[in-house]
Amino acid sequence: MMTRREREARHQEELLKQATAARLTRRDALKMGVITGSAGILKTGGALAQTNDVTDLAPSPRVTRPWLEPMPVPRIMQAVNPATHTHMGSNSYAYKPHDPTFHQYWSRFPAQKYYYSSVSAAPHVFHPDLGAPSTIWGFDASFPGTTLDMRYGQPVVLRINNGLPPLSTHTGFGIPQTINHLHNFHTAPESDGGPWDWADPANPNQPGECNDNHYTMARAGFSLMDNAADSAKFSAIPAEFRTWHGNGRFGGDARETLTTLFTHQHRPEFTAANVYKGQAKMARVFDEKDTGDETQGFRMPNAGYRSSNNYSTYDRATDYDIPIVIADKHFDSTGQLLFDQFNDDGFLGDHITVNGKIKPYFVVKRRRYRFRVLNIGPARFVRIVLRYQGKSQPFHQIGDNGNLLEKSVTVTQVEQWAAERNDYVVDFSRFPAGARVYLANNMAMSDGRRADRDSVINPDLPANQLIEFQVANLPAGESDGSWDFFAKGQQTFRPFPDLAQLAREVVRTRTFKFERTNGMWAINGRLWDPEEDHSPSGLANPLVQIERNSAEKWILESSSGGWHHPVHIHFEEGRVLNIDGKVPALKTRQDVYRVGRDFNRTELLMRFRDFPEPGYYRKPPKQRRPYGNSPLLARHPNEHARWVMHCHNLTHEDHAMMATWNIIPRSTDV
């Protein structure tokens, strides 16, 4: 017999399903007055649900068999030929062909590679013990989606099709509108997957529609030769870090190189639900030094892109360079994926999945592997450890938040907040064949408000273990060509741009305060509103106007000690000067900044370069919807000059801790 508490939890689960099916957002609910006060009393069709700040869902069904299934490694996206691919441009298909006039800097960086991805519903087995498969919404009908590999100097168009069921037939959590954001590439707004796009007729993301994203694959700073006003900034880039594209065009500052990115959903108010439902995929960026060939350049583990291999085949390229996506999930009593749309702390699941599986094993050879670890939350923070025979083992951190570090560091644990990516190298030659080595989490989190950073939970308990590595011998004749950190010491990557030079470019300081407001989340007292932002007056009068190719000092503050906010600033990597007055121990470039308890005040330097393209900004082309003959729509220049910053605890982001900022060209920009 169920206890009263269990019965209430079941009841809560049922009400949440009903409320979610009604597709009420918290903003809608507040407007309609069905939520009152911070305790959140929610009434839906006569039902009354107590949506407390702490999730009170029944526990997921127990999964008793760890290490039952192998950890899947996402396959690699294959480029398509836009002239013949039916979804990219063929006249035989109803979609409009890809339209290059829509993209800023197309003539400078025309695409060399085209990719097509459809977001669609699919059955997914998180663990066989859960029973029937759950329905996910994934890029390429998988979670994680297929990995997008790109290379600096080879511009890309990625077309995303919304293959989800129409809203009229949709039930359950999430909303079938897709917005695709490549976190944190240096991307023009029309390709950045900004949170306005779901309602934008020229850039739609409804079921059956598609959207084209152009990635220049140039480094930040590529426009610094265009205007004499920037000549000192160009001259400050040492010649060895100036990159050149095939047509002799300056391709930016190699010290701005990105390496591990990911693509995720950005539909306002449903980002948490839609990402949770599966819309995330990894992206790897290679370059002249981080080659994808472990015998060349920085020699990071990866035999896939060795010149002697045919790297158009899928699996070679992921032999030793493995994306790992960590994601919380929760399941209902029938084993179906469950999400609480109304938990405004941040939703924690009671299973931490890895590449879409609960407690998978992964067979590794006795050699080095690169793991690109992404934590997509939506609210979970972890502290990663590598355990063998009850002891933490050293491994090497080579990247932080999408960048290679200046030098690798040897570590025994690393904290990763939601949306943070870190690249690690693990040397399995240190363990005997047959060894079992575990990737585990040793940090507690009792709710979605913040991590218990002072806690250390037992990483050797099955509940806290994430992956079992099963070590096997390196087959005879196979060698490990990658950098040997233990024998040779740290690997040196590229230096970061000079901080003193960056400080000289600063033209102003801005402060952003992250606050709790009336049960929701605000920046500088404002709840972000996509409709207000996209209104004629909102477009004409951006709140934050930044001078193109300038630098600014940004201060991120939070007076609340009870919360953690991983704040993501789109478009540009920043450099942290200090956190609460102290210079951080690890020197990084970042796109996610920690704000809240232990991080009350962070000062950082930001540059805002290249976009918008001045000529395009002054006369943006009119646009059509993705199908043939609809009328051309006039565009406001500021639609092509704006980006956002937001909390990446996706629930905080949805309700509505986000702010828009614009870059405005100077009168002399050409």
Residue numbers at the binding site for Cu ion (CB under 5 A): 565, 647, 649, 652
Q: What is the 3-class SS of 102-163, one letter each residue? A: HCCCCCCCCCCEEEEEEEEEEEECCCHHHCCCEEEEEECCCCCEEEEEEECCCCEEEEEEEC
d(CA 105, CA 117): 23
d(CA 564, CA 45): 34
CB of 657 vs Cu ion, minimal distance in Å: 5
CB of 565 vs Cu ion, minimal distance in Å: 3
d(CA 35, CA 58): 23
Counting every residue, how long is the chain? Answer: 670
CB of 93 vs Cu ion, minimal distance in Å: 42
Q: 323 near 147, Cβ under 8 Å? A: yes
CB of 10 vs Cu ion, minimal distance in Å: 30
For Cu ion, the closer CB: 351 or 565 = 565
Q: 655 near 529, Cβ under 8 Å? A: no
Q: What are the Cα distances from residue 501, in Å, to 61, 468, 567, 605?
A: 56, 46, 25, 11
Write the DSSP symbol of residue 582: B
CB of 19 vs Cu ion, minimal distance in Å: 22
Q: 342 near 13, Cβ under 8 Å? A: no
**H or E element in which residue 4 lies:** helix 4-21
For Cu ion, the closer CB: 577 or 647 = 647
For Cu ion, the closer CB: 40 or 89 = 40
In DSSP terms, which residues pair with 508 in a beta bridge? 552
CB of 321 vs Cu ion, minimal distance in Å: 31
For Cu ion, the closer CB: 108 or 652 = 652
Q: 570 near 554, Cβ under 8 Å? A: no
In DSSP terms, which residues pair with 602 in a beta bridge? 556, 579
CB of 624 vs Cu ion, minimal distance in Å: 37
For Cu ion, the closer CB: 445 or 647 = 647
CB of 654 vs Cu ion, minimal distance in Å: 10
Buried b (16+ CB within 10 A) or exposed e, 125-137: bbbeebeeebbbb
d(CA 368, CA 478): 12
CB of 563 vs Cu ion, minimal distance in Å: 6
Alpha helices in 557-661 (DSSP H): 614-618, 650-654
For Cu ion, the closer CB: 19 or 647 = 647
For Cu ion, the closer CB: 214 or 652 = 652
For Cu ion, the closer CB: 372 or 648 = 648
In DSSP terms, which residues pair with 377 in a beta bridge? none
For Cu ion, the closer CB: 222 or 381 = 381
